[in-house]
Structure 1
């Protein structure tokens, strides 16, 4: 077999092993080292020469590069901020106050759930945490209000995925490190697409409830507290968390702080909020630190494994084979974008966003210059598309997160049914952004000047 054929075999084996359930990070490491040993093999004259192979030096260098990457410092800090906020008992107050504020709108509970998901996702960025917490908080409330179960489940699952798009997003930090793009411009580019998607979700809920009021009955008048109490609840729940998020995001977009510095301020702000809400305990701090360390280690080892895998794959000629194949098709830029997004969409059925982003997106990145595609515009298309990896059966992880906390209260098929309209809304958002690129590009160009390759 030629080296490029070995590279394609390497990629196919990786996909097969992932589908069989092997851990992603260590599968990448094992295959990178195994095929890398073949790629860099230069003969063995003695027993000592067995370990005299450049793959071990490459693995060591990649590990060191990940650990000293300044951009990735923001990940544990944002994670810590999210875990502290999750344990500060803010979200239940936030959900209740938004529900009361939206009481006159069709599907007020669903709208409150979406808004709470958007705010909490922005503060957390941890899809599993958002869907799990909202499943425990919002789903029982919607059940007591006689909401349709499938409709309620779809709202929670779709809203919970917004955190990987709306800044400050951990996914965008990872993308910036992979594509060597400015995280500041990525954050600015994601603001309007994220708000557009959340807005379309809310519009869909309102229209759906107006067409079929039986799926989301109006709240009873006796359940609505005085207006003064509603304003007070909003003041103590919505305002502090929103101010914290705006300060973190504003300092980044205003150029006052790097993402890592802003994340550090956000982590401190999360602790301050927990103190103000009288929910900061040593046990909760320990849990937050442990979960942060666990998630950060996973991300870092994913990077080490993926960079090792990608280096070997490229050395064997895998990237060149795919690039030559795509270029030889003589595609127009729009055809290249459609093909790339279709591949990412299909990969979202069996894989999660981290695997797609770290392994498969880098295959397309070198081709952007060839087709004259703005890398920040492509990044936003990918970010929107990655929402589908949480919403597309059979591996819609947001559905499994919700099923895990609700257990026998709802069937998985009912959750999938509730997800389908939101999947269509994500695809509509991608079409709108393709037709109007300014949705993604206007704000970064306004804040930082027009992008020059």
Structure 2
């Protein structure tokens, strides 16, 4: 006896999860299951659906900005700007308790914003800032937590590639998403910094003060360091973000400006070469191809899943729980939290969020607010043991005497800060919605 269409839809979802755990390529697994189940139930029409979905993804103007932002990030990464930036902020923050950790967090926030590539930021800061903190006598766990947590900020702080993908998936304005994520992103970075400063004040042995020889000898030295290292990158990021938020350019146009600005910075810093340009182009093409094929596979899978009635089964199940808006948000965020262990944020955004998005209207949840909440939640997917990617990135470049258990122990307080930020956002939605409402009504 054949299964009903909704049962086949649920079977398709279960099979995808099984293949995922076995390590099959996600994009091609999605396409194979979508086309296979579609052909079994709808015949040749699934091939027309496949072509239509592929074309709609490739013709999506919003997605054009992704390779441009990625290219901007890879050029900045290879322009040796990070060490200059870290040194300048270290000099400026030398008077603060835990100054090296504070400098690391600020550098991570800026560099993560410029690149949006978590692995690159954690790895580079693990090579630059982590050894510097250990040499200064910092507690290994605190130093590890600072590098891992700071490196993940680019997921949320604009111009975030995650928000572009969410906007394209949910059909909402990327401009409004950027405006909504700006304050929560700064809030999270501020809470990280506050935690480090307070811990350094309560227990100076965890983060000893730098010796006078490593501090700035004059205000002029600080100003010169900031003018030559901090402000150029800050101006580039602010120009790109400001052009988007204030409606002066579309995300794609602003990303193109950012890519050109990154090349200009590399030339100014005498770090530009044809070899580095080729590396940046290759890495951009590889990452963009992965994202686009993942988007195509997700579009085909989601379309067939909806045609079979699987989406309706999920909706009916959630509605049968008689949850309120808060209960619905807690349920969805708990599921996303668990999915963050085996999955990257890209897979969560394009595969599983489309299952929840149609339910937002039923519970009166603003999709802009939901997107920012997801961005906060995805920080946890990189930090929460046992499958936290950021600690493993750091472990790959850390000294051999630093254990993965020490790194996991170090990230836990920052994981609690992320959860606190989500609770604050639950209680005060205006943290995310105030700025877009003020700018766009």
TM-score tier, shorter chain, comes to over 0.9
Looking at structure 2, the residues matched to 321 and 224 of structure 1 have their Cα atoms a distance apart, in angstroms, of: 62
SS in structure 2 opposite 1:96?
helix
C-alpha displacement of 1:144: 1.0
Instruction: Output the aligned Cα RMSD.
Output: 1.1
Describe the superposition over 1:215-247 as per-residue Cα deviations: whole angstroms up to 9, x where unpaired. Answer: 211101122232222221111000000000010
C-alpha displacement of 1:20: 2.0
Residue 83 (structure 2) pairs with residue 81 (structure 1): no
SS in structure 2 opposite 1:387?
helix
Question: After the TM superposition, which residues 19-418 of structure 1 pair with which residues of structure 2 at under 5 Å, given as runs?
Answer: 19-41=21-43, 53-227=44-218, 228-406=220-398, 408-418=400-410
C-alpha displacement of 1:421: 0.7
Q: Is the CA contact (8 Å cut-off) linking 1:84 and 1:270 kept in structure 2?
A: yes
Looking at structure 1, the residues matched to 104 and 414 of structure 2 have their Cα atoms a distance apart, in angstroms, of: 15
Q: Is the CA contact (8 Å cut-off) linking 1:39 and 1:312 kept in structure 2?
A: no
C-alpha displacement of 1:146: 1.3
SS in structure 2 opposite 1:257?
coil
Looking at structure 2, the residues matched to 407 and 149 of structure 1 have their Cα atoms a distance apart, in angstroms, of: 11
Moved over 4 A (4+): none
Looking at structure 1, the residues matched to 226 and 401 of structure 2 have their Cα atoms a distance apart, in angstroms, of: 30
- Out of 1, 4, 14, the position equivalent to 1:2 is 4
Describe the superposition over 1:3-52 as per-residue Cα deviations: whole angstroms up to 9, x where unpaired. Answer: 111111111111122122222111111211222221213xxxxxxxxxxx
Q: Is the CA contact (8 Å cut-off) linking 1:157 and 1:391 kept in structure 2?
A: yes
Q: Is the CA contact (8 Å cut-off) linking 2:94 and 2:216 kept in structure 1?
A: no
SS in structure 2 opposite 1:373?
coil
Q: Is the CA contact (8 Å cut-off) linking 1:118 and 1:160 kept in structure 2?
A: yes
Q: Which runs of 5+ in 1 are unaligned?
A: 42-52
**Which stretch of the first structure deviates more once superposed, 204-213 or 108-117?**
204-213
Describe the superposition over 1:149-174 as per-residue Cα deviations: whole angstroms up to 9, x where unpaired. Answer: 12111111100000010000000000
Looking at structure 1, the residues matched to 245 and 304 of structure 2 have their Cα atoms a distance apart, in angstroms, of: 36
Looking at structure 2, the residues matched to 316 and 156 of structure 1 have their Cα atoms a distance apart, in angstroms, of: 45
Q: Is the CA contact (8 Å cut-off) linking 2:117 and 2:154 kept in structure 1?
A: yes
Looking at structure 2, the residues matched to 20 and 141 of structure 1 have their Cα atoms a distance apart, in angstroms, of: 39
Looking at structure 1, the residues matched to 22 and 210 of structure 2 have their Cα atoms a distance apart, in angstroms, of: 47
Describe the superposition over 1:380-401 as per-residue Cα deviations: whole angstroms up to 9, x where unpaired. Answer: 1111111111111121111111
**Which stretch of the first structure deviates more once superposed, 197-206 or 354-363?**
354-363
Looking at structure 1, the residues matched to 164 and 261 of structure 2 have their Cα atoms a distance apart, in angstroms, of: 20
Describe the superposition over 1:267-321 as per-residue Cα deviations: whole angstroms up to 9, x where unpaired. Answer: 0000000111011000000000000000000000000000111111111111100
Looking at structure 2, the residues matched to 57 and 406 of structure 1 have their Cα atoms a distance apart, in angstroms, of: 50
Describe the superposition over 1:110-140 as per-residue Cα deviations: whole angstroms up to 9, x where unpaired. Answer: 1100000000011111111111111111111
C-alpha displacement of 1:407: 5.9
**Which stretch of the first structure deviates more once superposed, 170-179 or 22-31?**
22-31
Number of residue pairs matched by the alignment:
438
Residue 19 (structure 2) pairs with residue 17 (structure 1): yes
Looking at structure 2, the residues matched to 40 and 64 of structure 1 have their Cα atoms a distance apart, in angstroms, of: 20
SS in structure 1 opposite 2:159?
coil
Describe the superposition over 1:243-270 as per-residue Cα deviations: whole angstroms up to 9, x where unpaired. Answer: 0001000000110100000000000000
